[in-house]
Amino acid sequence: MTYDQVVSTIMFRVGNRPTLRPQIEAELQLAIETELERGAQFKPWFLMTDGFQDLTIVADTRTITWPTAFLGEFEMGSLWLEESDGALNILTKKDPKVLTVRPGETATGTPTHYTVIGSKIHLYPKPIAGGIIKALYYEASGFEKNDDTNGWIKFASDWLISHTASKIAETIQNLQIFQLEQARAQVARNRLMGETEERIEVNVNTIMGDL
């Protein structure tokens, strides 16, 4: 579907009232940015980075800041340390309480573990030298008005349409439409969850096979 087709479908489902178009477009943007992406526990496959992304290790610096578009870590492992021979060693994630640095602790070496606090990755032990970490993660789609190439439009328009239509129905206080679109959104979400599980397994196998 295209962006205009998505908006037109939502408009039709909530009563075909042209005056609602600005509200629909605003709700689309808001829903994606705050509910379907940053506010959601489940992340669909098309939000996964396209292969490994390089994060730079600075010598004697424990932390690395995630990119601005970062949404969440990849469930099957997020960070790999690139060795001098090109080999990759996965870094083990630990709870921040386990990896708390004691006052005065100065141990350095090759990182083997990490934790995430806020927008920063904390490496343990502290890197003695610079290097590269290969990362897989979920990132924001950068949804914009009239963008027909966005993943939500291309691969999840059914969920996006029903989710947004339910929000509009709630605003105009139409309980019947709200309940119908909520049910449709759940069906679409379940479909996408199944598809995501299959696609991510294939994508990861492809990425690791290319190494």
Domain boundaries, the chain: 3-44+142-209, 52-135
Alpha-carbon distance of 175 to 78, in angstroms, equals 42
Sorted by sequence, the CB contacts under 8 Å of residue 175 that are 6+ apart come out as: 169
Interhelix angle 3-13/21-30, rounded to 10 degrees, is 110
What pLDDT is stored for residue 101 in this prediction?
58
What's the rounded Cα separation, in Å, for the pair 87 and 166?
49
Distance (Å, whole) CA 100 – CA 164: 43
pLDDT tens by residue, the chain, 211 residues: 999 999 999 999 999 988 999 999 999 999 998 889 988 889 999 999 988 899 999 999 999 999 999 999 887 678 999 988 888 899 999 877 766 655 556 678 999 999 988 899 999 999 999 999 999 999 999 998 888 999 999 999 999 999 999 999 999 999 999 999 999 999 999 999 999 988 877 766 666 665 5
**Token pair in block for residue 157:** 């328009």
Cα(82)–Cα(94) distance, integer angstroms: 20
- Pairing label, strands 113-117, 120-124: antiparallel
Q: Please, what's the b/e burial string for 185-206 (b: 16 or more CB within 10 A of its CB; e: otherwise)?
A: beebbeebeeebeebbeebeee
At 116 the three-state DSSP class reads strand
Number of Cβ atoms within 10 Å of the Cβ of 142: 12
CA distance 48 to 140: 9
Crossing angle of helices 21-30 and 157-171, in 10° steps, is 120
CA-based max dimension of the chain: 66
Task: Report residue 106 CA to chain centroid gap.
Answer: 35
Q: Does the N-terminal peptide bond of residue 18 adopt cis geometry, omega within 30 degrees of 0?
A: no
